[in-house]
Amino acid sequence: MKFNTKTIHGGQKHDPSTGAVMPPIYQTSTFAQKSPGQHQGYEYSRGENPTRSALENALASIEGGVAGFAFGSGLAAIDGVLKLFAPGDEIIAMDDLYGGSYRLFTRVYQKYGLVFHFVDMTNVDAVLEKMNDKTKMIWIETPTNPLMKVVDIEAVATKTKAINPEVFVAVDNTFASPYLQRPIELGADIVMHSATKYLGGHSDLVAGAIVVNSQQLAKDVHFNLFATGGILGPQDSYLVLRGIKTLAVRMDRHCANGIKVAEFLDAHPKVDQVYYPGLPSHPQHEIAKKQMKDFGGMVTFTLKSAKKEDAFTILENLHVFTLAESLGGVESLANHPATMTHASIPADKRAEIGITDDLIRLSVGIEDIEDLIEDLKQTLDRV
Ligand SMILES: *Cc1c(COP(=O)(O)O)cnc(C)c1O
C-alpha cells in the first residue's frame, strides 16, 4: 500500500463481531476469561485494549515500523524510551529541543544517572565527537522546535552506526508528521510523536506515540508501557486514529499555507529572520528537500526591532491566529516560546541557542490563506 492508503487502511480490520467500519471505543478495563488464562487476546487494558491496538497498528503502518505504541502524552512516550537505559548510559541529543523534552532529560533522568550531551546536529561531526562506548542513543528532533533547524537523519544514522551498530537512532517526528518524513526509511530505529499535534490534528486531545523497527525494541517498549502504565485511553486512541485518516489532506493545506506565510513574513519590513525550511535561504534547505516531502506548517520569526514588547503587541492583536501553546491543529496558533513552550529552558541556555525574546512561533492552520495574511498584516502594522 502507498502512504495515503495506509492512513485509511494500514493495520486496520473491520470489527470482527459487528463489521463496524471504525473500531468501537472499547471503554473497558478488563475482559472476561472462559477459564483462568483462557481469553481472546485481551486481559486488562493497561496491557492491551482493542481500540488502542487499532491505533498502534495504524502508527506502525504509516511510519513503516515493526510495532507502534500509544502513550498518554508525547512526554510519556519519550519516558517509555528513556526507561530502556540504565545509570551511566549516555544519550546525545539535539541542542534545540522541545522545552519539555529538555526538562525531562535534565531534571528527571539526569537524577537517575543518565548522561546527556546536547549538540548542534546540523553538524554531524559534532555528534560523532561525543560518541564513546557508553553511548546508547542519539535523540534527533527535526525540524526543531522552535528554530526549525533540519538534521540530516540518514547521515547521522549511517555515521553513528558505522562507529557502533548497537546505538539507537531516535527521531522526534512531531513537526514533520509521517506524511512529510519517515525516519525509519532513513535509518532510524525509533520514531516518537506528540500525537497531540499533527496526528490528532484537531487540538482536542493529548497523546504520544512510539514506533520501532525491531522485534526486540517492540518487546522492550511494550514492557515499559505495560509495566509503568503511561497508556493512552480508548476514547483518545479512537480520536487519534480518526485524525490519522485525514493526515495527508490536512498536511497538504498546512504546507501550502506555511510557505505563503513564510514568504509574506520574509518580505515584511518589520520582520528580521524567518525560520522555515521551505525558504531557499534556510541553511538546511537542501537537506529538507532531500528528506521531507514538503516543508510543513510551522514558521518562526524575529523582529527588526528585536523588542519583546513588540512581540507581545503582535501576539495580543491577532484575531484569526489564537495565542496558545501547542501546534499542528486545523486552527492557526501563535506562541511566544521564551515565556510559553520553552520557559522551562534556562534564560542563558535560551540565549545561547537563539530563542530570543522577540521570537514568535506560528502553527499555520488550514484556514483560507488570505485571512491568515490579513491577520498578520494588521497586527504587524501596530509596531
Ligand atoms: C508537544 C511536543 C512534545 C511533547 O508532547 P506532549 O504530547 O505535549 O507531551 C514533544 N516534542 C515536540 C516536538 C512537541 O512539539
Catalytic residue among 197, 293, 350, 361, which? Answer: 197
100 in ligand 1 pocket by Cβ < 6 Å?
A: yes
Given 26, 98, 109, 275, which residue is catalytic? 98
AA letter at 274: V
Quickly state the pLDDT bin for 349 (edges 50, 70, 90).
confident
For residue 275, the cross-strand partners are 300
Ligand 1 centroid–CA 299 distance in Å is: 17
E-assigned strand segments in 73-203: 90-94, 115-119, 135-141, 168-172, 190-194
pLDDT tens digits along 50-61: 999 999 999 999
Residues forming beta bridges with residue 135, ordered by sequence position: 90
Q: Which helix (H) or strand (E) holds 32?
A: none
Tens-place pLDDT, residues 68-115: 999 999 999 999 999 999 999 999 999 999 999 999 999 999 999 999
Is the model's pLDDT at 345 over the cut of 90? no
pLDDT band at 197 (very low <50, low <70, confident <90, very high): very high
Residue minimizing CA distance to atom 1 of ligand 1: 194
Residue 197 bears catalytic tag = yes
Query: Residue 94's beta-bridge partner residues?
Result: 119
Decide if 172 is catalytic.
yes
Q: Which amino acid is at 26?
A: Y
Q: What is the pLDDT of residues 1-15, one digit of tens each?
A: 999 999 999 999 999
Across the chain, the runs of DSSP E, i.e. the strands, are: 67-71, 90-94, 115-119, 135-141, 168-172, 190-194, 208-212, 271-275, 298-303, 322-323, 333-335, 360-363
Distance between CA atoms of 313 and 320, rounded to whole angstroms? 15
Supply the pLDDT for residue 154: 98
Report how far residue 295's alpha carbon sits from residue 297's, in angstroms, rounded to the nearest whole number: 7
Report the C-alpha gap between 277 and 299 in whole angstroms: 9
